[in-house]
Structure 1
């Protein structure tokens, strides 16, 4: 029997693009929320993203049809796809790069019960560090959707913390991320290996290895970061 839960229906629409529902939540009455489709404060949000490289083939096929010099192609594709799905369900689509910024990470932690890894990326019990949030759908009314509970945080049981020991310039530490140091390394000749295989700290994490991004996807993200 076909489900009438809106998150299930949204998931079916997203599947045609390799994207998935990443949970959702209803906003509290006294909670500050961004505008929904009516312009009034939204009452609910459904997060949209990917697990591993699920969306990568769909994005690549779309990218091949676009101008070579297109700026921010992944953001453009995500907005196009998620915006189309939002229109189907009477929602307003937002992106992590939209300004003013909306609290995607806080929403994700509430929706899926996740917590950050030492790298700042949310640690997922199944996908590890190999997942992403591409957008969200805001609704004017509350929806029937379950939020994730607080589960076991895999990083708590990790003693060696290889994710903090593999970067050749020690960009990640207990005090944060050395953004400038990382980019300087990538632009130098010594950063060629990182540019060709992806972030070594992220790759060092043993969790979610089955969802690790393929080489061309990692190169794409490294080039975008270095630029």
Structure 2
């Protein structure tokens, strides 16, 4: 990808542009981890080390706000509500995200391991994606990878959590959701330690 001012501002934090959504005369640019670079950068942060609650949200608030100030943009976040900013809706308008067979968003480069750390609203032309939806040419291994069938009929959160917390769920708990990991797009970029961090927060 061609580097620009946004790429240069995000790079030191292990972040990247995930897609642009037109917003009237402005653009909303979604921002997420550039994996696997992201994890070591966040792990070395003051927020990760201070032992206080919600380290990733606090880190995201600090660094995305800093980037926004550098670029004369408005920072937006998927946390801090209600009300919550409509990141899911914005994502589907970028031309780079789609609903996957298990209902989670799938990204054209990061697959099912996408997460949003924030967004910018600013005066820049939107770069809307034009590529094909990856699921259309995929065997959809995500749909059958869950060992407890948590995605067989919508998303059974209770069954998912019960499995992850049990001895049988050690693999999911320590290395990440098997259904997400089954996606061939972006496979192998999320480190096990990062996946375990997110699983602990989920539980």
Residue 171 of structure 1 aligns with which residue? 150
For the 8 Å contact 1:47–1:133, the answer to whether it is kept is yes
Query: For 2:161, which of 183, 206, 209 is the aligned residue?
Result: 183
In the alignment, structure 1 residue 118 sits paired with structure 2 residue 95? no
The verdict on how the C-alpha distance between 1:14 and 1:177 changes in structure 2, with shifts beyond 3 A counting, is same
Shift of residue 65 of structure 1?
A: 6.3
Paired with 1:118 and 1:57, the residues of 2 have a C-alpha distance of 31
Question: Any idea what the Cα deviations from partners look like across 1:33-91, whole Å, max 9, x if unmatched?
Answer: xxxxxxxxxx33222112332311110000576322x1111111111100111122232
**1:65 & 1:162 partners in 2: Cα distance?**
34
1:217 equivalent in alignment to 2:198: no
Unaligned runs of 5+ in 2: none
Aligned match for 1:147, one of 128, 133, 158: 128
Q: 1-side partners of 2:46 and 2:202: how far apart?
A: 18
Local SS of the residue matching 1:45: strand
Task: Note if contact 1:50-1:133 (Cα within 8 Å) is conserved in structure 2.
Answer: yes
Cα deviation code 1:145-173 (max 9, x no counterpart): 32112x322212223x3212222211112
Do 1:22 and 1:112's aligned partners in 2 also have CA atoms closer than 8 Å? no
Q: Gapped runs of 5+ residues in structure 1?
A: 30-42
Please tell me whether Structure 1 or Structure 2 has the larger radius of gyration of its CA atoms. 1
User: What pairs up with 1:1-227 in 2 under 5 angstroms?
Assistant: 8-28=4-24, 43-63=26-46, 66-68=49-51, 70-99=52-81, 100-139=83-122, 142-149=123-130, 151-159=131-139, 161-173=140-152, 175-211=153-189, 213-226=190-203
CA shift, 1:113, in A, is 3.2
Contact 1:51 1:131 in 2 (8 A): no
Instruction: Map Cα deviations across residues 194-223 of structure 1 (whole Å, 9 max, x no partner).
Output: 212211111122232242x11111111111
User: Which sits farther off after the overlay, 73-82 or 46-55?
Assistant: 46-55
- Count of aligned pairs between the two proteins: 201
Q: Provide TM-score, normalisation by structure 2.
A: 0.87
CA displacement, residues 106-125 of structure 1 (integer Å, 9 cap, x when unaligned)? 21222243212123332233
For 1:182 and 1:76, the matched residues in 2 are separated by 27
4+ long deviations beyond 6 Å: none
- Aligned CA-pair RMSD: 2.3
